[in-house]
Chains A and B, each alone.
Chain A
């Protein structure tokens, strides 16, 4: 069972309390962008087998969106952080590097 700590209300929520929102830190493209850019934002996904930064919503708790760093191959959770963050925070990146020395870093 997957357990994520909501960074807003501090609740350690198990997955039935949460809704997944897939890849985080997508670069958004809107009107005026090229077809390639819009496709990359709407559809192309990193979908890594390993470290993944993703969006989650504490649906049956405070209702807010937050972000999580998680391993898709083992379901290990490296940490959670608020959604108002444009890139993974340094402490979480350091923690991932300690746990996954071969990780290629944020791409």
Chain B
């Protein structure tokens, strides 16, 4: 792999950009691997990357039914934060957020991480108490957040109407080191780094069956034939239930659609991310000037990657009260992704009833921010066969044992 650098740009400028190589190879599958990761979204690719980087395991294939990053990783609104309440969530999300800070250097790929600051608005007294509690919890967890009053919110976001009338802004939870990153670049950067380590990323190849012998996984059936493996990591988000069924177990997961939309581009007007959870709307401005907007999930089981129109209407109705200037903006595009919602709305990183088969899913509406931390913890689990400290609480046994991670990490709000 040729490194990207300012010198490379200068060199290529001299020769009409004829020397750039493909960022990753498109190999045919080998007959077997040490580890197969199913799903080339951010979580699958990060799992493969840290298997190589942290554990020296590089005889790895990442198998993807579509194109890499074409699932929720390429469809999300890219909010990154780690201001969670429970210790186990704060630990893994803060690990991810701190890895994001150095990710562009680590991958030699600009993921455009922008720690521009993130506000979670309190628009009811209940939220005021809730967020003050979160600030205290974060203090103990070593996650830097603070509580700010309405005047300070207005100073940070002058286009915001803080006076209601229905939901006046009473203050906000501010995480200064939260922000956004370029979603595609996260997938592409990990893919390029995996390919450079000699891993095979096999696109347009759907896993259609899981083969096992004596309770141990032996390989996967795919649209490109059988591929053997010693270990299997299932990292397929919305399709977790389908692949788990192939492996012979059922998950506490349901798939629903989550939508997002962007406006026509306008001049810079908001330089932080704002989330308004009471009214279910959130917004940030992309580098191109588009307002990136999301809201709640559509609540029925759905695999169509489309959502219902009335949810867009609800989201915009809610945001217009808080941001009156958007009322006459045209919306450019709308899309949906299929998110995997667990019974307690927290993710699953777990061993499974099938030997040497591991699963990472349930990130639902909020897993983009978790990609580096989740990949790190998943690589640990796959390499050692047992969860390390980051993944320990996220096993799927918790649903049987009643040990829920009771946090609306993915509570129907795309964050």
A-B complex is real: yes
The CA-CA distance from A72 to B311 in the complex, in Å, is: 18
**B304 CB contacts on chain A under 8 angstroms:** 72-75
Whether the pair B309, A1 counts as a contact (CB closer than 8 A) is: yes
Contact of A35 among B239, B299, B302, B401 (CB under 8 A): B401
Tell me if B343 is interfacial: C-beta within 8 Å of chain A.
Answer: yes
Tell me if A47 is interfacial: C-beta within 8 Å of chain B.
Answer: yes
Could you tell me the distance in whole angstroms from the C-beta of A98 to the nearest C-beta in chain B? 22
**A47 CB contacts on chain B under 8 angstroms:** 241, 251, 253-255, 301
Assuming A15-B310, A16-B310, is B399 touching A49 (CB within 8 A)?
no
**A43 CB contacts on chain B under 8 angstroms:** 252, 343, 399
The digit string for B393-415, where 1 denotes a CB below 8 A from any CB of A, is 00000011100000000000000
- Give the residue name and chain of the B residue nearest to A14 (CB): B310
Assuming A2-B300, A15-B308, A73-B304, is B399 touching A42 (CB within 8 A)?
yes
Enumerate A19-47 residues with CB–CB distance to B below 8 Å: 19-20, 22-23, 35-36, 38-40, 42-47
Majority-rule SS of B interface residues: mixed
Assuming A39-B399, A44-B252, is B303 touching A1 (CB within 8 A)?
no
Tell me if B242 is interfacial: C-beta within 8 Å of chain A.
Answer: yes
Tell me if A54 is interfacial: C-beta within 8 Å of chain B.
Answer: yes
Could you tell me the distance in whole angstroms from the C-beta of B38 to the nearest C-beta in chain A? 15
Whether the pair B343, A42 counts as a contact (CB closer than 8 A) is: yes
- Give the residue name and chain of the B residue nearest to A15 (CB): B308
Tell me if B17 is interfacial: C-beta within 8 Å of chain A.
Answer: no
Could you tell me the distance in whole angstroms from the C-beta of B341 to the nearest C-beta in chain A? 10
Tell me if A58 is interfacial: C-beta within 8 Å of chain B.
Answer: no
Contact of A45 among B254, B299, B309 (CB under 8 A): B254
Highest count of chain A CB atoms <10 Å: which of B242, B250, B301, B308: B301
Whether the pair B308, A1 counts as a contact (CB closer than 8 A) is: yes
Enumerate B253-278 residues with CB–CB distance to A below 8 Å: 253-255
B: contact size bracket: 20 to 34
Could you tell me the distance in whole angstroms from the C-beta of B337 to the nearest C-beta in chain A? 15
Whether the pair B308, A73 counts as a contact (CB closer than 8 A) is: no
**A2 CB contacts on chain B under 8 angstroms:** 300, 308
**B302 CB contacts on chain A under 8 angstroms:** 72, 75
Assuming A42-B343, A45-B250, A74-B304, is B255 touching A36 (CB within 8 A)?
no
Whether the pair A73, B401 counts as a contact (CB closer than 8 A) is: no
- Give the residue name and chain of the B residue nearest to A40 (CB): B250
Enumerate B309-355 residues with CB–CB distance to A below 8 Å: 309-310, 343
**A49 CB contacts on chain B under 8 angstroms:** 239, 241-242, 255, 303
**A44 CB contacts on chain B under 8 angstroms:** 250-252, 399
Assuming A2-B300, A20-B299, is B253 touching A39 (CB within 8 A)?
no
- Give the residue name and chain of the A residue nearest to B241 (CB): A47
Enumerate B270-310 residues with CB–CB distance to A below 8 Å: 299-304, 308-310
**B299 CB contacts on chain A under 8 angstroms:** 19-20
Whether the pair A72, B301 counts as a contact (CB closer than 8 A) is: yes
**B400 CB contacts on chain A under 8 angstroms:** 35-36, 38-39
Could you tell me the distance in whole angstroms from the C-beta of B358 to the nearest C-beta in chain A? 18
Q: A19-B299, A39-B399, A74-B304 are in contact. List 7 more A-B contacts (CB 8 A).
A: A1-B309, A2-B308, A20-B299, A22-B254, A42-B399, A44-B399, A45-B254
Question: What are 21 A-B interface contacts by the 8 Å CB criterion?
Answer: A15-B308, A19-B299, A20-B301, A36-B400, A39-B399, A43-B343, A44-B252, A44-B399, A45-B241, A45-B251, A47-B241, A47-B251, A47-B254, A49-B241, A49-B242, A52-B301, A54-B300, A54-B301, A72-B303, A73-B304, A75-B304
